[in-house]
Amino acid sequence: MSDTDSDTHDPSALRTPIVAVLGHVDHGKTSLLDKVRGSAVIEGEAGAITQHIGATAVPLDIISSMAGELVNPDDFDLPGLLFIDTPGHHSFTTLRSRGGALADIAILVVDVNDGFQPQTLEALDILKRSQTPFIVAANKIDTVPGWNPQEDAPITQTYESQSERTRQRLDENLYKIIGNLSDEGFSADLYWRVQNFQRNVGVVPVSAMTGEGVPDLLAVMMGLSQRYMKEEMEIDVAGPGVGTVLEVKEEKGFGTTIDTVLYDGTVKKDDTIVVGGLNEPIVTDVRALLQPRPLAEIRTENRFENVDEVGAAAGIKIAAPDLEDAMAGAPVRVVRNRNLDDVIAEVQAELADVAVDTAEDGVVVKADTLGSLEAMGNALSEAEIPIVRAEVGDVAPRDISVASTAEDPKQQAVLGFSVDVLADAERRAEIDDVQLFTDDVIYQLIEEYTDHVESIERAQQETILDNITRPSRFRVLKDHVFRQNDPAVVGVEIYAGTLQNNNYVVKWEGNEPTRVGQVKGIQEQGEDVDEARAGERVSVAIDGPTIGRQVKEGDVLWTDLPEKHAKILEQELKSDIPTDELEALNMYLEKHRKRDPFWGK
């Protein structure tokens, strides 16, 4: 039976809530999805669950048989749940609808032993931004030391059959997760203690391996959807379809197709549709609607069957001309009996809603979908990294051209999220000295870029320091005059800072500095050196003074700092110079500012 057979004649019907699964890598998102799908197939006939494009529909009666007494089908009007098959917040950000995430509800999977990890926090941030209701599946309870598994049992039943020590270990881990959620601004508790799921996040302990807690997970999702989302699930079944592009794919015999999640109305063969494109909305006609054959027939050579129409909520492959520039995450609208210009304007408005703010200068950003481009834009904005251009698609030579024109070397960079770098773009980047950063985890991508920026800044500071006169204060030691003049050679002790070869030397008398000469050589234990640091005793050749006249034994001398250098040291390099050097600088500035309060400012 196609998705629409039962509903088409009813002008308004309840659609299936769309469920997305998020969480840190290796915490069991795919295993949990596989468990739900696998159990659903076992519970029903092979054809009882509908395999959609990019999604799996699990009808209410199958959910009820999996959840046992936790779900009484008579209590529900909703037809079941539609699980998005590609887990991860990456797919979640792809799935946009008007005003936010396409998923109606999300499951955040957290490894009960591992707890919160960086991607957990990233997923939470996305859930917060899109205001999507979610529940936490505290997965892998079967790995708690001493766990005694009860296949597919509800959590309360299996929890009771564990030893006290095992229960205690599990409780500790669960309360750690609840504490982490609280740190992130979410009030949470174990799901059976939650009174109001709109105010509190329910935590459901589960095992994707043994199926324990899965009945509870399904029951909570059905209950939440029925109680809080029923109105949102009301759709005009016969109305023009509204959906989101999940993926743009080449399909043998059909050319470029779009895998689409439909969340309102219907789409029919020969309908005119408007799809968000790279440069402008694409207007085209549906040539074929393809859905996977039932699981029982999946071995047949032709993987898809052609259907005449599909109603929400569903995943469907749309074949139509001119889809090459369609973007993952972009809106799809059926025109039908509406004005084409109005529909194009709606699509443009939705695309503008996701547009990333760009500046005159900044980095180039590429992402695989519109939703992940938006997530990248948000994350870079928070990290105060400006963006000059942001687009969906692989890194191409023209991205390198844009990045190479940046005046600031830190901005000569392209950040690509979940995209490929085209070979000619890679070659071009090497020639133009543009840095490429690619990753499929947003926070890692930004970390790699900020590390790169820090290394450039360090190198820049080091270059400035190399070319700047460093402050120092030193004393001519008594009985250490080795030559009186041309040049004078004396033993000195460095009190603070760094004395460098070729520095000019001043002596302060009252509030007036007098330049007395220039360092023309430094020796430490008979060896020539370029500089001497605080605490060292060295012999110094000073061209200019005669010892006993302009300079006497016991005199305190200073490196003569040019005003511009003093200003750079105080305002830009304070944190890059040693404490004793800073001390010498501050004392030197203090002396000058007694004469002129604005010296070096």
pLDDT for res 298: 41
Query: pLDDT confidence of 326, banded at 50, 70, 90?
Result: very high
Q: Binding site residues, as ranges?
A: 23-30, 85-89, 139-142
Same fold, 17-232 and 472-595: no
| Percent of the chain scoring above 90 in pLDDT | 67
Rounded Cα distance between 59 and 78, Å, is 9
- Whether 476 contacts 554, CB under 8 Å: yes
Answer whether residue 467 shows pLDDT above 70.
Answer: yes
DSSP 8-state symbol, 394: -
Q: Give the pLDDT band (50/70/90) at residue 49.
A: low
**pLDDT digit string (tens) for 281-295?**
999 999 999 988 765
The sign of the dihedral angle between the CA atoms of 200, 205, 208, 211 is negative
Q: Six-digit token pair at 64?
A: 């009820």
- Give 102-158 pLDDT, tens digit per residue: 889 999 999 999 999 988 988 898 888 888 899 999 999 999 999 999 999 999 999
Beta strand 435-439 pairing with 413-417: parallel
Give the pLDDT of residue 86.
Answer: 72
**Is the separation of the CB atoms in 206 and 138 below 8 Å?**
yes
Cβ neighbour number for residue 495 with a 10 Å cutoff: 17
Higher pLDDT, 452 or 299: 452
pLDDT at site 295: 55
Structure tokens at 531: 């500089």
Say if residue 471 is preceded by a cis peptide, omega within 30 of 0.
no
Report the run of H or E that residue 50 belongs to, with start and end.
strand 50-51
pLDDT for the residue numbered 528: 94
pLDDT for the residue 279: 87
Read off the pLDDT of each residue in 422-435 and give the average, rounded to a whole number.
Answer: 96
CATH number of 17-232: 3.40.50.300
pLDDT at 48: 55
- Please report which confidence band the pLDDT of residue 296 belongs to, taking 50, 70 and 90 as the band edges: very low
Q: Which CATH number among 3.40.50.10050, 3.50.50.60, 3.90.550.60, 3.40.50.720 corresponds to the domain 355-460?
A: 3.40.50.10050
Least confident piece of the model among 255-264, 272-281, 365-374:
365-374
pLDDT at position 143 is 96
Query: How sure is the predictor about 300, in pLDDT bands with cuts at 50, 70 and 90?
Result: very low
Work out the end-to-end distance of the chain between its first and last CA atoms, rounded to an integer number of angstroms.
80
Q: Which fold has domain 236-352?
A: Elongation Factor Tu (Ef-tu); domain 3 (2.40.30)
Whether the model clears a pTM of 0.85, i.e. scores above it, the answer is no
Note the pLDDT tens digit of each residue in 178-208.
999 999 999 999 999 999 998 999 999 999 9
Residue with token string 């309102």: 264
- Mean local confidence (pLDDT), 377-385: 92
The class that CATH gives domain 472-595 is mainly beta
Domain boundaries, the chain: 17-232, 236-352, 355-460, 472-595
Quickly state the pLDDT bin for 4 (edges 50, 70, 90): very low
> Does residue 371 have a pLDDT over 60?
yes
Mapped onto helix, strand or coil, the DSSP state of residue 274 is strand
Give me the amino acid identity at 18. Answer: I
Q: Which residues are annotated as a binding site for GTP?
A: 23-30, 85-89, 139-142
Q: In this structure, which amino acid lies at residue 157?
A: Q
pLDDT of residue 236: 87
Residue 297 pLDDT: 45
Question: Residue 510 above 90 pLDDT?
Answer: no
3, pLDDT greater than 50: no
- For the chain, the farthest-separated pair of C-alpha atoms sits apart, in whole angstroms, at 111
pLDDT attached to residue 355: 81
> Mean pLDDT lowest for which of 4-13, 145-154, 258-267?
4-13
Closest of 61, 66, 79, 73 to residue 7, by C-alpha: 79
- Averaged pLDDT score across all residues of the chain: 89
